[in-house]
Structure 1
Amino acid sequence: MANMGFGIDYSQFMSVHASRRRPALTRELTKRQYGAPKESISLAEGMPNEVTFPFQSINIVMKDGSSLDIQGQQLNTALQYIPSQGYPSLLKKIRDFTLQIHNPPNWQDRDVVMTNGSQDGISKALEMLVEDGDPVLVQNPLYAGTEIILKPFKPNLIGIEQDDDGIIPKKLIEALEGCKAYTEEGGGKMPKVIYLNPTASNPTGVTMSLRRRQEIYQICCKYNILILEDDAYYFLHFLDEQPVSFLSLDVEGRVLRFDSMSKVLSSGLRLAWLTGPRPLVNNIELHIQSSMLHSSTLSQVILDNLLSSWGFNGLLAHFAYVRRYYKARRDFTVASMEKHLKHLCEWNVPSGGMFVWIKVHGVADVYDMLMTRGLKKNITFVPGHAFMADPTKACQYIRASFSKATLKQIDRAMYLLGELIKEEHVLLRRKLDGLDDEHSILR
Structure 2
Amino acid sequence: MKVTINRDSDAPVYVQIIEQVRRQILSGELLPGFRLPAERKLAENLGVNRTTVLNAYSELKAEGLIGSRVGAGTIVLSYLDEELSGCGSSREPQWNQIFSQYSNRFDSCLVQDLLMLASRNDVISFATGIASPESGPIEALEGIENEVVNNRNFRSLLHTPTEGFISLRKVVCGLMQKRGLYCRPDEIMILSGSQQGIDLAARILIDPGDIVVVEEPTYFPAIQVFRTAGARVIGVPIDDKGMNVDVLEQLLHRYRPKLIYTIPTFQNPSGAEMELERRKRLVRLASKHNVMILEDDAYGDLCYEGNLLPMLKSLDNEGYVIYLSTFSKNIYSGLRLGWMVAHKKIIREFASAKQLIDLHSSSLSQYIVERFIENGSLEAHLNKVCSEYRTRRDIMYKALAKYAPKDLIWNRPKGGYYFWCRLPDGISSLKLLAKAADYKVSFVPGSPFFSSGQGDNFIRLNFTYAPLKDIEEGIKRLCAAMKELEAEKGNDDLYSILEINPIV
Task: Give the TM-score normalised by the residue count of structure 2.
Answer: 0.67
Query: Aligned pair count?
Result: 360
Give how far 1:364 is off.
5.3
Structure 1 residues 328 and 198, CA gap change in structure 2 (3 angstroms): same
Residue 101 of structure 1 deviates from its aligned partner by: 2.4
Q: Distance in 2 between matches of 1:382 and 1:304?
A: 34
Alpha-carbon distance, 1:419 to partner: 2.0
CA RMSD of aligned residues (A): 2.5
Cα distance 1:267–1:416, how it changes in 2: closer, same or farther (>3 A)? same
1:427 aligns with 2:493: no
Post-superposition, which runs of at least 4 consecutive aligned residues in structure 1 deviate over 3 A?
63-68, 71-74, 107-110, 434-437
Equivalent position of 1:215 in the other structure? 281
Rounded to whole Å, the distance in 1 between the matches of 2:304 and 2:143 is: 28
- Which whole-Å deviations, capped at 9, do the CAs of 1:12-58 have from their partners, x for residues lacking one? xxxxxxxxxxxxxxxxxxxxxxxxxxxxxxxxxxxxxxxxxxxxxxx
Aligned to 1:124: 200
- Kindly indicate whether residue 238 of structure 2 is the aligned counterpart of residue 172 of structure 1: no
Is residue 162 from structure 1 mapped to residue 228 from structure 2 by the alignment?
A: no
One-letter amino acid matched to 1:77: R
CA distance in 2, matches of 1:209, 1:316: 26
1:344 to 384, 390, 407: 407
SS of equivalent to 1:295: coil
Separation in structure 2 between the aligned mates of residue 101 and residue 246 of structure 1, nearest angstrom: 11
Residue 317 of structure 1: how far off its partner (Å): 3.1
Q: Does 1:146 find its partner at 2:222?
A: yes
1:410 alignment partner, one of 455, 462, 471: 471
String of CA shifts for 1:257-285, please: whole Å, max 9, x gaps: 01111111111111211000111111111
Residues 150-209 of structure 1: per-residue CA shift (max 9 Å, x gap): 231232211000000111111112222332xxxxxxxxxx20210011111111111112
**Residues 126-150 of structure 1: per-residue CA shift (max 9 Å, x gap):** 2111111211000111111212212
Match status 1:383 vs 2:383: no
- Match for residue 32 of structure 1? none
Q: What SS does the aligned partner of 2:365 have?
A: helix
Whole-Å separation in 2 of the counterparts to 1:295 and 1:320? 27
Q: Compute the displacement of 1:362 (Å).
A: 1.4
CA contact (8 A) 1:110 1:275 kept: no
User: Partner letter of residue 90 of structure 1?
Assistant: L
- Kindly provide the amino acid, as one letter, of the partner of residue 304 in structure 1: E
1:430 is paired with a residue whose SS is coil
> Residues 376, 79 of structure 1: CA spacing in aligned structure 2 closer, same or farther, 3 A cutoff?
same
Kindly indicate whether the alpha-carbon contact (under 8 Å) linking 2:148 and 2:154 is maintained by their aligned counterparts in 1: no
1:395 maps to 456
Give aligned-pair identity as a percent: 29
Q: Deviations over 1:76-130 (max 9, x none)?
A: 11111121111122122112332342324xx469600100011111211221111
1-structure distance, mates of 2:443, 2:171: 39
For 1:174 and 1:326, locate their aligned partners in 2 and report how far apart those are by CA, in whole Å.
38
Q: Which residue of structure 1 aligns with residue 342 of structure 2? A: 276
Instruction: Return the match for 1:297 from 363, 366, 369.
Output: 363
In the other structure, the counterpart of 2:148 is 70
CA contact (8 A) 2:292 2:322 kept: yes
Residue 286 of structure 1: aligned partner = 352
Where do 5+ consecutive residues of structure 1 fail to align?
A: 1-59, 180-189, 438-443
TM-score, normalised with respect to structure 1: 0.76
Bigger RCO (CA 8 Å, 6+ sep): 2
Are the counterparts in 2 of residues 85 and 294 from structure 1 also a CA contact under 8 Å?
Answer: yes
Asked whether the equivalents of residues 216 and 235 of structure 2 are also in contact (C-alpha less than 8 Å), the reply is yes
